[in-house]
Amino acid sequence: MSQIDIEDFEKLSKSHFSSNKDFIKKLKKSKPKTLDETFERHHDTVFEQMDCLTCANCCKTTSPLFIRTDIDRLAKTFRMSSVTFIDTYLRVDEEGDYVLQSSPCPFLGEDNKCLVYEDRPKACREYPHTNRKKMHQILNLTLTNSTICPAVLQVLNNMRKAAGQ
Ligand code: SF4
Ligand code: SF4
């Protein structure tokens, strides 16, 4: 497992951003049929080595979206009403979705463990979305996530290099 150094990651993500942006542009244009499988393969390889507990940059810097079932489940965990949970932790963003009022996430422990791990939002379970179906539809998001998540940066860099770009 590799320890993650966020300062190194931030420098790397900046220096690789423009190459990865070009690579994403090409993927959008060429729409490879095996894109999902390629992402999934690289995702699995990268996450075999990633120690998320030395990072937690996603939980520290961005907010997941909270869908209704997430809100109801977490409200139950905290033995509060869904309305109180929303008032206490959430706000509505520019796109009309519920997100956290503040970062880092209030449910992140000091040891980088999620305090509500079993009941965490669906978006947290699926983050960083590099092993899902229809990757073609979320290439811009994936590029953005390469500035937040060291694993995404590694996935894109590995894919780009494998493609000889
Ligand atoms: S998913 Fe990415 S940003 Fe989140 S802890 Fe793991 S490596 Fe870090
Ligand atoms: S709910 Fe847990 S996994 Fe999701 S952002 Fe907060 S600390 Fe991270």
pLDDT in tens, 60-71: 999 999 999 999
* 126-153 pLDDT, tens digit each: 999 999 999 999 999 999 999 999 999 9
Ligand nearest to the CA of 122: 2
Ligand nearest to the CA of 9: 1
Site residues for ligand 2, CB cut-off 6 Å: 59, 64, 105, 107-108, 114, 116, 120-121, 124
Q: How far apart are CA 104 and CA 62, in angstroms?
A: 7
Coil, helix or strand for 5? coil
Residue 44 pLDDT: 98
Residue 2 has pLDDT above 80, yes or no: no
**What distance in angstroms lies between residue 33's CA and the mean position of ligand 2's atoms?**
33
Q: How many CA atoms lie within 13 A of 133 on its CB side?
A: 0
Alpha carbon nearest to ligand 2 atom 5, residue: 59
* 80-132 pLDDT, tens digit each: 999 999 999 999 999 999 999 999 999 999 999 999 999 999 999 999 999 99
∠ Cα 71 75 80 (to 5°)? 145
CB–CB of 119/73 below 8 Å?
yes
For the whole model, what pTM was predicted? 0.94
